[in-house]
Amino acid sequence: MTSDPACSPGDVAPDGAGSHWLALTLQSGLGARGFAARALTGDLQEAGAARHFARCTLFDWDMGPLVEDAAVIVSELVTNAMRYGLGCPLSPPATSRPVWLGLLLQETTVLCAVSDPSPEIPVVKEPDYLAESGRGLHIIDSLSDAWGWTSPDHAGKTVWAEVGLPAPSLP
């Protein structure tokens, strides 16, 4: 199994700060399957914790080649959820854990999904290349194989992105 020295056994376990998480991995004749989820507070610093959670989970799933892209995707998804999903005036009252990060492994593809309480859908804007922010969805688009969002409802929406291992080349 590929490993990261920054991830040690138990890293995806509760961090002592009351984090809520779940991680499952199954191996079968159908290939590797896994699910990991973590509740996040509305603090912008949670993007770093989410990135670390994604890195450690993907290393645990032996998906090392996807770690860097998935970590950046997760960071952008979480940052957008914190910045726009929680700041939306149409959002229902925030709970102590208003944002969820989910990772789903399906053979050679990982789905990264972030749910927030806002009913507003993501809007891809023309990037200002001199600004410090505003390029998150462009980054997600360039690093992922596909991305999108669920139809918003009373609980909010989920923005997701898929990233997969390249297909093996034929001789």
Q: In the structure encoding, which two tokens stand for residue 59, read together?
A: 């290393």
Listed as own residue / partner, the contacts of 5-9 with beta carbons closer than 8 Å and 24 or more positions apart are 6/52, 6/55, 6/56, 7/52, 7/55, 7/56, 7/59, 7/60
Q: Given this model, what pLDDT does residue 96 score? A: 54
Average predicted confidence (pLDDT) for the chain? 79
Question: Pick the residue with more confidence: 7 or 58?
Answer: 58
Sign of CA dihedral 4, 8, 14, 16: negative
Q: Which pLDDT value is given to residue 33? A: 78
**Which pair of tokens denotes residue 80?**
């957008």
**Tell me: the pLDDT tens digits for 147-164?**
999 999 888 899 999 999
pLDDT band for position 133 (50/70/90)?
low
**In the predicted model, what is the mean pLDDT of residues 113-129?**
84
pLDDT at 12: 44
The reported pTM is 0.79
The per-residue pLDDT for 131 is 59
Cβ atoms of 141 and 163 within 8 Å: the answer is no
User: Residue 106 phi/psi, 5° resolution?
Assistant: -130, 95
| CA end-to-end distance (rounded Å), the chain | 26
